Amino acid sequence: MKQHRKLILGIVSTVVAVLLGRPAIGVGQESTAPNAEVRLLAAKVARLEAAVAKIAPPSPGAAAPPASGGMMGGMAGGGGGMMSMMGGGTAMPPTLLPSFPGTSLLYHVGATDFFLDHSERITLTAEQTARLSQVKQRAAAGRADAERKVEAAEQQLWELTASDQPDPAKIEAKVREVEKLRGDQRLAFIRSVGESAQVLTDEQRKAVAAIPSVEISPEEHAGHHPTGP
């Protein structure tokens, strides 16, 4: 232990001297040139690593030390490993709805039947019709699943409010859960309409926007969006 302590003190003395730009006098050593000090430090570090390895060998599965000079190799590498871990990419932004500049109300028109009800007016191809039908089917399946979840949550809410000692915290949480389920389903439906609008060409979208009866009242628009009872 005394030898290890003496060795560590020598390393610390040399490192401090190198950082301060002064010659260092290690334990039992005379003043040396900077290059010699670096070589001496590397040798001491290697000896210290070997001594530590004998005292406490690495556990199975532990990461191996850097190949280029142990700790000195890591110091000389400029911290590239740590920087690479810290710079592991940025978070992806939330999913945005497709936008179609110059062709407003597309989401209103598509809410009625995913543009399938305007097939003749905008001359849908067979491939477009098939793709729009797939979007419609997925939206219907998502709506059915959401309605089952809302029904189950409503049943739980009914049981909570039927208690002779209703728990206001549980009731509030369940009400918020129900409304979140409904809101999530409505957002999913709107995204489905945006997906269907992407199936159309620019000319078809402009043709939809030019339909005279395209103006839909807020009441009619709300009626096309599934919001539950």
- Tens-level pLDDT at each residue, the chain (229 residues): 555 555 555 655 555 455 445 444 444 454 445 566 656 666 766 676 666 555 544 444 444 444 444 444 444 444 443 333 333 333 334 567 888 888 888 899 899 999 999 988 899 999 999 999 999 999 999 999 999 999 999 999 999 999 999 999 999 999 999 999 999 999 999 999 999 999 999 999 999 888 765 455 555 555 555 555 4
Q: Give the single-character DSSP code of 28.
A: T
Domain range summary for the chain, segments of one domain joined by +: 2-79, 106-224
* Other beta carbons less than 10 A from residue 172's beta carbon: 11
Q: What is the pTM of this model?
A: 0.53
Name every residue whose Cβ is closer than 8 Å to that of residue 208 and which is 6 or more positions away in sequence.
103, 106, 109, 115, 118, 121, 122, 200, 214
